[in-house]
Structure 1
Amino acid sequence: MEPIRDGDVDISGAARLLADPARARMLTVLADGRAQPAGELARAAGVTAATASEHLGKMVEQGWLAVERVGRHRYYRIDLPEVVQAIEAMALISPVRPVKSLRGARANRDLKIARSCYDHLAGAVGVAVFDALCDAAMLNIIDGQWSAADRSHPLLDELDIVASDLRQFGRRPPVRVCLDWSERRYHLAGGLGALLLRRMREKRWCAPGNTPRALTFTPAGRESLHRTIGLDTAALRVA
């Protein structure tokens, strides 16, 4: 018998990397999937450029981030989607910071209504979309498949999504779920989740909000969500 060379996973190493407040803040800013320059990440984390560079280097070395040089600037993005899932999972068991200002209260509200989770939709709207597709028996969560790819759904029709569109995601599962930290329920990830948010942006249903990761919805997006999944959009903030 061949000797067993691999041991158990060491979660303490990843936990230590995530535990630093500055690194945690940088990852939160990057959790919408977009690349950000090192200087912007340093400002968001409240650290010097040299300290930010050290933190970013550790996360690149760990394989969490990818870096691209554009002229004199370095742009960083999350290169491992599971990092965002880990952030969402940690949020489920983390204490809530007290809100000390009206601005903070608004930011908290906006994130709970709708936000990007790497490249898919989270928050109350993301959960509502997932629930609507489940109610229509469109998803096979266990097998990670779009189980009713041969049938239409008003939301998918509005966004011009068909089964063949998912080929662009290669071997990525069409359907995955994330446990939403603010709703304590699932929202849709995987290829279909990414495509849904991409088409919503392309059709200008939603746009980036003032808070990092938050999404605001246009009148067209509000009306379409109400028509296709019956979402009560009265609480959605108009972009």
Structure 2
Amino acid sequence: MRNKIFILIIAAIVMASIMALSGPAAIFIAKRQLKNTFKGSIVTIEQCKINPLNSIIFSGIEINEPSSYNIKCEQISMRYDLYSLLTKGIVEFSASGFFGGKVDGNIKITLGKSPAYVADINLRNIDLDIFVKDFKLEKKMQVTGRLDGNIFIKGAGSRLKEVTGNLQAISPGGELTIKDTDYLKNMPIKSGVSWEDLVASLKNYVYNIGALKTSLENDNLIFTVSLSGETGKRNFTVVLHDFKI
């Protein structure tokens, strides 16, 4: 028991020494890790503040993969106590300005040849308009409204293994227009509904109840959308093919 305590103390001292590096050094390490995780991306981090014993705060984060996404976040705060971090690999985090809203949760990291991680994430007041722009979906759709919900992510190294999530629209809802008519050709059409009626039904559609489910299948990130408004229900799916981080 004494040996374990001694090892933890030594590890804590070493870790505190490493984490006491200057802000620029911490930014360099974080950017390198993000680039390794988000393959092909350009990563920007403007500032970093470190308290070696309990927190790291990064500000002005941007992860840009020109063909797929340009994710921005005002600030990410990672908080921990050294005992939980060293023995369980658990880090709590919060983020502001993430798709216009806030995020918090925890990540459990298991070190090894290919480090594994499990993340429970809570999302609050996520702006769908910003989400569409950050994932470069403007040519496919236009959406307004905000969401609350949670997402579970599991991965190892740079590969995602599982993504599941459930989000609900915040009252009073929002408005949807599908711009990509080629995408609409793949949607099932009910008997008696013309192509023109289908296209019209997904333009300037106002919803007051909405649900968004996320999942990962064969490296495809899938968003299943269910909406309800005065003019009826709308259900459709958006797929980001070969989504990898």
TM-score by length of 1: 0.26
More strand by share: 2
TM-score by length of 2: 0.26
More helix by share: 1
